[in-house]
Amino acid sequence: MGWWLASRIVTLVAFVVCWLLGPRGRLGGQFFATPLKLFGVWDGLWYKRIAESGYLLVPGHQSDPAFFPAYPILLRGLHRAGLPYLDAGVLVSNVALLGATIAFYELGCRIVEGEIARRAACLMVVSPLAFVLSMSYPESLALALMSFALLAAVVDRWSAAAAVGAAAGLVRPEAALFAIPLAALAWSRHGAMDPSTRGRAIAAVFAAPVGLATYPMYLDWALGDPNAWGQAEQLWGRAFSLSGPLRAIVHLPRQLALQPWLARDVVFVVLYAALLVVARRAGVKLPWIVAGALVLLLPLMSGSVQSEGRFGLLALPLYWGAAALVRSRRAEVALQTCCLLLLVAGVLTLPYTWP
C-alpha cells in the first residue's frame, strides 16, 4: 500500500508538470485547463462519451462499440451520485488499483514465494506505463477484478470467482484468457470436490468468457448488430485474424515510419515476453505463462503493435518474472526508482501519443 501511495503521488506530480508545460503535441489548450483534464485524454474521452450517451455505431467512422461497457457503467453510476464523469473515472481507477495491488499480492503469495509476491505487487504500481492505471482507463479495474477472481478460486471461493470473473470479462477481453489457469486449478482439485463444488468451479472457469460473449449479444439488442465491435475495431485499424502477428511484423517498418512512437510498444513486447520466460524459469506454472503470453498475443492478432505496452499490463505473470530478477533490497529499490523515472517520462509523452 505504501508503494501504491508513493507511485500515485509521483504520477500526480508528473501530470502537474505536464500541465505546467502547457499545450503542445496533439492536445489542444482545452486539455490543459486543469491537471485533472489530462487524466481523461485519448481513450478516456471515449469512455466518457459512452457513459454519457451509450453506444453508437457510425459506418465509416471510428465508433465507441470498440470499447467494453463495464467501466463506463461505473462512471455513469457515480455521475448519477453527483460526481463529474472525469472525477468518477480517476476515482474508480485509483481505488481499483489499490484493490488490485492487495489482491495481486495475496494471489502471488499462493503462487510464488512470498518475497517475489511482494516485489511483484510493488513493481506493478511503479511500472513505466503504470500512469495509465490512474487515468480514466479500464486497466486498473480489469487488474482488480482479474486478481480478485483468481484469488477467490485459489482459496476455493468458486462462486465469488465466477461472479467477479464475469464482470472482468465485460471490462477487458484479456480477462477471459485467465480461464486457462482457472481450468488447470479446477482440474487439479476436482478429485476432492463434491458435485456442488465442482459445478461452481466449472462456472468460475467459464465466467469471464461468458461475460465477454454477452457483449455482442448486448450490441445486437442495442444497435441491431452483434458484429458492431468487430466493425468498430476495423475502423480503429485493428482487423483480428490468425495471421495478425505475421502482418504486424511485416508491416512494422512502414508503421514505424508513420508513427515512430510505436517503437516504445515494440520494446515493451520484447521486454514482456522476456519476463514471461523468466517467470517460467522461476517456477511459475505453465498455465499462468500461457495466459500471460496470450494477453500479449491477442493485440498482435489485430496486425499492429499499437498500445501493446498498455495492454501487456494485464499479463500478471510478467510481474512475477520481473520480481524474480531482483536479488537484493538495493537492486529492488534501484529498479523501482528507475521505473518511477520512466513513469514520469511516459506522462510527459501524453501530448504526443496515446498510451
> How many angstroms separate the CA atoms of 354 and 44, rounded?
10
DSSP-assigned states of every residue in 12-55:
HHHHHHHHHH-SBTTB-GGGGSSGGGGGG-THHHHHHHHHHH--
pLDDT at 242 over 90: no
> Partners of 27 in the beta sheet?
24
Once rounded to an integer, what is the mean pLDDT over residues 49-73?
92
**Rounded Cα–Cα distance for residues 165 and 149 (Å):** 5
Least confident of 51-65, 123-137, 163-177, 195-209: 51-65
Give the whole-number percent of the chain exceeding pLDDT 70: 100
| pLDDT, averaged across the chain | 95
**What pLDDT is attached to residue 60?**
82
Q: Is the pLDDT of residue 216 over 90?
A: yes
pTM, two decimals, is 0.96
All cell numbers assigned to 216: 455482442
What distance in Å separates the CA atoms of residue 206 and residue 60, rounded to the nearest whole number?
34
pLDDT score recorded for residue 174: 95
Q: Of 53-67, 94-108, 164-178, which gets the smallest average pLDDT?
A: 53-67
Residue 222 has a CB neighbour count (10 Å cut-off) of: 15
Handedness of CA 162, 98, 143, 211 (dihedral sign): positive
Band of the pLDDT at 238, cuts 50, 70, 90?
Answer: confident
Which pLDDT score, from 0 to 100, does residue 58 have? Answer: 86
Whether pLDDT at 170 is above 90: yes
pLDDT for the residue 240: 84
Name the percent of the chain lying above pLDDT 90. 88
- Predicted local confidence at residue 237, as pLDDT: 80
pLDDT for res 29 = 93
pLDDT at 222 over 90: no
pLDDT for residue 327 is more than 90 = no
Would you tell me how many other CB atoms lie within 10 Å of the CB of residue 1? 11
Residue 321 banded pLDDT, cuts 50, 70, 90: very high
Under the banding of pLDDT at 50, 70 and 90, the label for residue 151 is: very high
Predicted confidence (pLDDT) at residue 239 exceeds the cutoff of 90: no
pLDDT at 131: 98
Under the banding of pLDDT at 50, 70 and 90, the label for residue 332 is very high
Q: What is the pLDDT of residue 18?
A: 97
Q: Are 45 and 38 in contact (CB under 8 A)?
A: no
Instruction: List pLDDT tens digits, range 259-317.
Output: 999 999 999 999 999 999 999 999 999 999 999 999 999 999 988 899 999 999 999 99
233 versus 136: the higher-pLDDT residue is: 136
pLDDT of the residue at 330: 92
Say which residue, 231 or 110, is predicted with more confidence.
110
